[in-house]
Chains A and B, each alone.
Chain A
Amino acid sequence: MATITHEEAHTHTHGPELQHQFETPEQQKEAATLGMWAFLVTEIMLFGGIFMAYIAYRWAFPEAWEEAAAMLNTPLATVNTVVLLVSSLTVALAVNAAEEGKKRRLITMLVLTIVLGLTFLVIKGYEYSEKFAHCAGAKDPISWITGSDLHESHECLVPGRGFHFPDEHGSASGGHGAAKTVTMQSGHQLFFLLYFSATGLHAIHMIIGLGVMTTILVMALRDRFSPTYFTPVEIGGLYWHLIDIIWVFLFPLFYLV
Chain B
Amino acid sequence: MAEQHTHAHAHHHSDKHTHISRGTYYRVFAALMVLMVLTVAAWWVEKNLIEMPGWLAVTIAMSIAIAKTVLIVLYFMHVKISSRMTQIYAAGAFVWLMILFVITMGDYIARGWPPQAGPLP
Partner of B115, one of A10, A60, A244, A249: A60
Q: When the two chains form their complex, are residues B89 and A41 in contact, meaning their CB atoms are under 8 A apart? A: yes
Cα A86 to Cα B28 in complex, Å, equals 11
Partner of A59, one of B3, B7, B25, B105: B105
Tell me, rounded to whole Å, the shortest Cβ–Cβ distance linking B96 to chain A: 6
Q: When the two chains form their complex, are residues A249 and B3 in contact, meaning their CB atoms are under 8 A apart? A: no
B40-95 CB contacts (< 8 Å) to partner A = 40, 43, 54, 61-62, 64-65, 68-69, 72-73, 75-78, 82-83, 85-86, 89-90, 92-94
Interface size class of B (residues with CB under 8 A): 35 or more
Q: When the two chains form their complex, are residues B90 and A45 in contact, meaning their CB atoms are under 8 A apart? A: no
Residues of A contacting B: mostly: helix
Q: When the two chains form their complex, are residues A85 and B118 in contact, meaning their CB atoms are under 8 A apart? A: no
Cβ contacts B1-13/A at 8 Å (1 or 0 each) = 0011001001100
Q: When the two chains form their complex, are residues A256 and B40 in contact, meaning their CB atoms are under 8 A apart? A: yes
Interface size of A in residues (CB-CB distance below 8 Å): 58
- A-B contacts, CB under 8 A, total: 144
Residues of chain B with a CB closer than 8 A to A37's CB: 86, 89-90
Cα A99 to Cα B36 in complex, Å, equals 29
Tell me, rounded to whole Å, the shortest Cβ–Cβ distance linking B84 to chain A: 11
Question: Given known contacts A238-B77, A248-B68, is B115 in contact with A62 (CB within 8 Å)?
Answer: yes
Residues of chain A with a CB closer than 8 A to B65's CB: 248-249, 251-252
Partner of B89, one of A38, A60, A95: A38
Tell me, rounded to whole Å, the shortest Cβ–Cβ distance linking B65 to chain A: 5
Q: When the two chains form their complex, are residues A245 and B72 in contact, meaning their CB atoms are under 8 A apart? A: yes
Partner of A45, one of B33, B62, B97, B113: B97
A137 at the interface (CB under 8 A from B): no
A183 at the interface (CB under 8 A from B): yes
A44 at the interface (CB under 8 A from B): yes
Q: Which residues on A are within 8 Å of B, measured CB to CB?
A: 2, 6, 9-10, 23-24, 26, 30, 33-34, 37-38, 40-41, 44-45, 48-49, 51-52, 55-57, 59-62, 66, 74, 78, 81-82, 85-86, 88-89, 91-93, 95-96, 99, 183, 186-187, 234, 237-238, 241-242, 244-245, 248-249, 251-253, 256
Report the 4 A-B pairs with minimum CB-CB distance, sorted nearest first: A60-B118, A252-B61, A256-B43, A41-B93
16 interchain pairs, CB-CB under 8 A: A6-B3, A30-B85, A38-B89, A45-B97, A49-B100, A62-B54, A85-B33, A92-B28, A93-B25, A187-B118, A248-B69, A249-B69, A252-B39, A252-B61, A252-B65, A256-B39
